[in-house]
Amino acid sequence: MSNNANHHLMSPAMKMADLMDLDFSLLGVATRMGLCFGFGEATVAEECAQRGIDPETFLLICRVYAIEGYRPTRETLENANLQDIVKYLHQSHAYYMDVVVPELAGALEQTIEPCENRQKKVIWKFFADYKEELSKHFAYEEGKVFPYVEAVLGARKDRQFTIGEYEENHSNVEEKLADLKNLIMKYIPHQCGQQDVYRVLFYIYSLEEDLNKHTFIEDGILVPMVGRMEGHE
Amino acid sequence: MFADLGEFEVCGILQDLPGSVEIQLRTLAPDIIIADPSICDFSSRGSLKTRIAEYTDAAVLAFATQPLEEDILKQFDGCIGLLDPPTAVIRKVRTAMEQRSETPRSEGEELSQREKEILICVAKGMLNKEIADLYNISIYTVITHRKNITRKTGIKTVAGLTVYALLNNLIDMNSVE
C-alpha cells in the first residue's frame, strides 16, 4: 500500500483497530495518548471522544509516524489542538525515560558483561552520558517550553520567552545515539552474546526512529503552531 | 605528450613532497601520480608510495631519472624510464589505471597510521590547534583527517571516538582520565 493511500485511509470514521493495523508504530502513539487496547469495533472518533482527544490531532500525529516524509499543510496545523500535541510530547518523554532507556540500559548491561573491565567501563560511561544529556534535553522542554506553551494558550502576558528561542537543535543527542549505534554495530567485542547485541541494536534503532518523529512533531508542528499564536496577539 | 593523446589530463605538477604538496594531492584527487623517487633521500625512498597513499588512492608510477634498485621499485604500480618512447609510457599508464580499478582502495576503509595518531590525540581531549602543532601540520589538515576518521568509523562525537580508541586498543584507560 502506498503512503498516499495510507494518508487518505486515515479518517476519524475508520475503526481504531484498522488504523493501528496500518503501521505498528501507531500502537505507541495510541498508548501515549492514553487510549486503551480492546478497541472492539469502535471508530477513531469514538475512542478519541472517550479520552477527550481531538481525533484530527491524533490522526495528525499518526500520519507523522506512519507516512514517511509526511508534512502537514498549513490548514491542518491551524485546526490542530495544541494541548493534545503537548500532551503527546510529554507522554513521549515519560515513555522514553521510563520505558525505552531502562530497557536499553538492561540489554546493554547484559551485553557488555563478557567484556574486559576497561571496555565495560568506557561503553557504560558513554551510555550514561547520553542518558544524562537526553534527560537534560527533556527537562528543558518540560520546564521551559511546555509551560510557555500553556501560557500562550492561556493568553497570559507574564512570560519571558518566545518559541523562536526554542529553535535549539536536537543534533547533539542525535549524534550520540548514532555513535552508540555504530560503536555497538561495528566495534563491540566478539565475545558478547549475539542475541544480546541484537536486542541492544533493536532498542537503539526503535529509539532513533521514534526520536526522529518526535523531533519533527516539535519542530514541524509545535513550533509553527505556537509561532502563529504569538503572531496573532 | 599526454595532452596530445586526449586520453589523459595533467591535473597538477607538484614540486616537493613535504609541505603543501600533501594538501594538493588531496584536492587534485588524481588517478595517477608519476613521481621521481630521487626527490626523497635514500632513507625514505622505500616508503614513498606509503606516504603518498596517506593522501590519495591514486596509482603511483615511478619516473626513473636514474637507475633504481629493485626493492625501491617494487612499491610502485609501474616504472617509466627516461628513455621510454611515448607509446610505452601510455601503455604503462593504462596498465596502472586498469589495475587500480580492479583493486579499488586497496587499504580499504581502515584508518591510516596518521589518522590513528590523530584519533588518539582527539580521544585524549586535545584541540585541533594542539594536534596541528604536535605534528607540525596545518589545522586544515587536522580537520581533513578528522573528517576522514568520522567518515570511516561513522563516529562523530569526541566521547564516541574515545570509546572507539579504547575498544580498538589505541589508548588505555589511564590516558582518558
pTM of the model: 0.70
User: Between residues B124 and B16, which one has the greater pLDDT?
Assistant: B124
Q: Are B54 and B80 in contact (CB under 8 A)?
A: no
Half-sphere exposure of A111 (CA within 13 A, CB side): 25
**A191-228 tens-digit pLDDT:** 999 999 999 999 999 999 999 999 999 999 999 999 88
All cell numbers assigned to A176: 550520540
**B8-42 tens-digit pLDDT:** 777 777 776 556 777 777 777 777 888 888 777 77
Q: Does B159 contact A179 at a Cβ distance shorter than 8 Å?
A: yes
Nearest to B167 among A175, A179, A187 (CB): A187
Nearest to B156 among A129, A175, A188 (CB): A175
Whether A3 contacts chain B with CB within 8 A: no
User: Between residues A41 and A172, which one has the greater pLDDT?
Assistant: A41
Nearest to B159 among A118, A129, A182 (CB): A129
Whether A105 contacts chain B with CB within 8 A: no
pLDDT at B104: 46
Quick check: helix, strand or coil at residue B26?
helix
**A9-39 tens-digit pLDDT:** 799 999 999 999 999 999 999 999 999 999 9
Using the predicted structure, report yes or no on whether residue B69 has a pLDDT greater than 90. no
CATH topology of domain B113-175: Arc Repressor Mutant, subunit A (1.10.10)
Average pLDDT value for chain A: 91
Query: Chain B residue closest to A172 (CA)?
Result: B157
Q: Is B46 exposed, middle or buried (0-12, 13-18, 19+ CB in 10 A)?
A: middle
Q: Does A187 contact B164 at a Cβ distance shorter than 8 Å?
A: yes
| A73-82, A165-174, B124-133: range with lowest mean pLDDT | A165-174
The reply to whether CATH 3.40.50.2300 applies to domain B2-102 is yes
Cβ-Cβ contacts under 8 Å, A189 against chain B: 167
| A81-95, A185-199, B52-66: range with lowest mean pLDDT | B52-66
**A149-162 tens-digit pLDDT:** 988 888 776 667 77
Query: Chain B residue closest to A188 (CA)?
Result: B167
User: First CA to last CA across chain B, in angstroms?
Assistant: 59
Q: Are B165 and B171 in contact (CB under 8 A)?
A: yes
For residue A222, give the DSSP letter: I
Cβ-Cβ contacts under 8 Å, A175 against chain B: 156-157, 160
**A116-142 tens-digit pLDDT:** 999 999 999 999 999 999 999 999 999
pLDDT at A222: 94
Whether A175 contacts chain B with CB within 8 A: yes
Residue B83's identity, in one-letter code, is L
- Mutation target among A123, A174, A183 for the B interface, most CBs of B within 10 A: A183
Domain boundaries, given as residue ranges, for chain B: 2-102, 113-175
Beta bridge pairs of residue A43: A15
User: Between residues B107 and A20, which one has the greater pLDDT?
Assistant: A20
pLDDT at B106: 43
Using the predicted structure, report yes or no on whether residue A114 has a pLDDT greater than 90. yes
Q: Where are the alpha helices (DSSP H) in B21-85?
A: 21-28, 42-45, 48-53, 70-73
Render A50-69 in DSSP notation, one character per residue. Answer: HHT--HHHHHHHHHHHHSTT
Beta bridge pairs of residue B59: B32
pLDDT at A1: 45
Distance from CA of A187 to the nearest CA of B (A): 7
Query: Chain A residue closest to B163 (CA)?
Result: A122
Nearest to A178 among B156, B164, B168 (CB): B156
Q: Where are the alpha helices (DSSP H) in A54-193?
A: 55-66, 74-79, 82-95, 101-112, 117-140, 146-153, 171-187
Whether A201 contacts chain B with CB within 8 A: no
| CA atoms of A109 and A208, how far apart (whole Å) | 19
Chain B residues whose C-beta sits inside 8 Å of any chain A C-beta? 153-157, 159-160, 162-164, 166-168, 172-173, 176
Q: Does B156 contact A119 at a Cβ distance shorter than 8 Å?
A: no
**B125-174 tens-digit pLDDT:** 999 999 999 999 999 999 999 999 999 999 999 999 999 999 999 988 77
Which is nearest to A14 in space by CA: A38, A36, A48, A42? A42
Same fold flag, B2-102 and B113-175: no
Using the predicted structure, report yes or no on whether residue B77 has a pLDDT greater than 60. yes
Domain boundaries, given as residue ranges, for chain A: 3-76, 82-232
Q: What is the mean pLDDT of residues A66-74?
A: 92
Nearest to A186 among B154, B172, B176 (CB): B154
Give the H or E element holding residue B81: strand B79-81
